[in-house]
């Protein structure tokens, strides 16, 4: 990797590369005189560093390191280190005030799943629910494990884990977005049997299919699937609206699995709508 070479006679050369040539010394003196004048005129506006420091610590608690935060903010890691720790070698305490531009950049960084490192552990609620919903749809654990590149034993643990790796959560999210409305193939006896076993397995555990979940509820630990009796009217309505289209390429068993209901219930809804 090519190292950036800063020109002599600049503050950056003096500060970052520790150059003490005459030109760089002159540049730092001119800069300090300029800062003094700006401060005298009331032109240097700095903001409290504490909210920025607390935000950095919250990002760290979510699994992001200072270098990653700095990269996302477009800042040098030293900026964050001085806010967090100061400069112990020089006896400097953590920064009390920061430039507004730096504060805005740091506060704009969010610990979303998309920016976390692969091995960072995150809440497993959304990952479990997405996999459980696909099983309720009829996808076997073996097929899903293959799709996400896991051994069946690891896949089984993922269905129970309270926390999962960020890269696993991203992989499962992408899989769910691709397959939430696709029933598994059931053209052979083996495929049909595997789908039936998967749906029965999910039913015994009360796992809701994709249609039982609102998109923004999948990752909310406090949310519950729409599977109680009070939700049946909306399921009936969705069946009436979507069955004509779905029946063109899905069996009644597959459509029933999609809505999280029994085949007999599906056919009852259809008779009632006739």
Residues 95-154: tens digit of each pLDDT: 898 988 899 999 999 888 888 888 888 889 999 999 999 999 999 999 999 999 998 888
Give the integer Cα–Cα distance in Å for 96 and 243.
Answer: 63
Give the integer Cα–Cα distance in Å for 12 and 18.
Answer: 9
Phi then psi for residue 163, to 5 deg, are -135, 145
Residues 184-241: pLDDT tens digits?
Answer: 888 899 988 999 999 989 888 888 888 888 888 898 888 888 765 444 446 777 787 7
pLDDT given for residue 234 in this prediction: 60
Dmax (CA) of the chain: 92
How much of the chain exceeds pLDDT 70, in percent?
A: 92
pLDDT at 70 over 50: yes
**pLDDT-wise least confident of 3-17, 57-71, 127-141, 242-256:** 3-17
Instruction: Quote the Cα angle for 184-187-192, to 5°.
Output: 60
pLDDT at 38 over 50: yes
Mean pLDDT of the chain: 84
pLDDT given for residue 82 in this prediction: 92
pLDDT given for residue 133 in this prediction: 93
Q: What is the mean pLDDT of residues 8-30?
A: 85
CA distances from 14 to 19, 29, 31, 55 (A): 5, 11, 11, 30
- The pTM (predicted TM-score) of the whole model is 0.61
- Residue 248 has, within 13 A of its CA and on its CB side, a CA count of 3
Helix, strand, or coil (residue 45): coil
pLDDT given for residue 183 in this prediction: 85
pLDDT given for residue 43 in this prediction: 63
Phi then psi for residue 222, to 5 deg, are -85, -10
């Amino acid at each position: 990797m090519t190292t950036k070479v800063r020109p002599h006679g600049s503050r950056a050369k003096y500060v970052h590369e520790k150059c003490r040539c005459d030109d760089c010394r002159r540049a730092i003196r001119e800069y300090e005189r300029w800062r003094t004048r700006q401060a005298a005129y009331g032109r240097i506006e700095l903001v409290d560093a504490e909210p920025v420091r607390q935000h950095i610590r919250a990002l760290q608690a979510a699994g992001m390191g200072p270098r990653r935060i700095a990269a996302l903010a477009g800042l040098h890691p030293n900026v964050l280190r001085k806010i967090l720790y100061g400069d112990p070698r020089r006896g400097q305490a953590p920064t009390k005030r920061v430039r507004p531009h730096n504060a805005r950049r740091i506060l704009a960084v969010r610990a979303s799943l998309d920016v976390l490192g692969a091995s960072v552990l995150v809440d497993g609620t959304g990952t479990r629910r997405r996999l459980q919903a696909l099983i309720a749809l009829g996808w076997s654990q073996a097929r899903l494990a293959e799709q996400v590149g896991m051994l069946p034993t690891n896949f089984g643990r993922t269905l129970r884990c309270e926390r999962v790796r960020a890269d696993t959560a991203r992989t499962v999210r992408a899989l769910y977005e691709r397959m939430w409305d696709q029933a598994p193939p059931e053209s052979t006896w083996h495929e049909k049997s595997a789908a039936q076993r998967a749906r029965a397995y999910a039913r015994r555990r009360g796992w809701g299919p994709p249609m039982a979940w609102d998109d923004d509820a999948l990752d909310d630990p406090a949310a519950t699937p729409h599977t109680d009796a009070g939700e049946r009217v909306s399921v009936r309505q969705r069946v009436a609206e979507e069955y004509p289209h779905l029946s063109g390429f899905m069996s009644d068993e597959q459509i029933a699995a999609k809505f999280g209901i029994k085949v007999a219930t599906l056919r009852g809804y259809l008779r009632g709508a006739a």
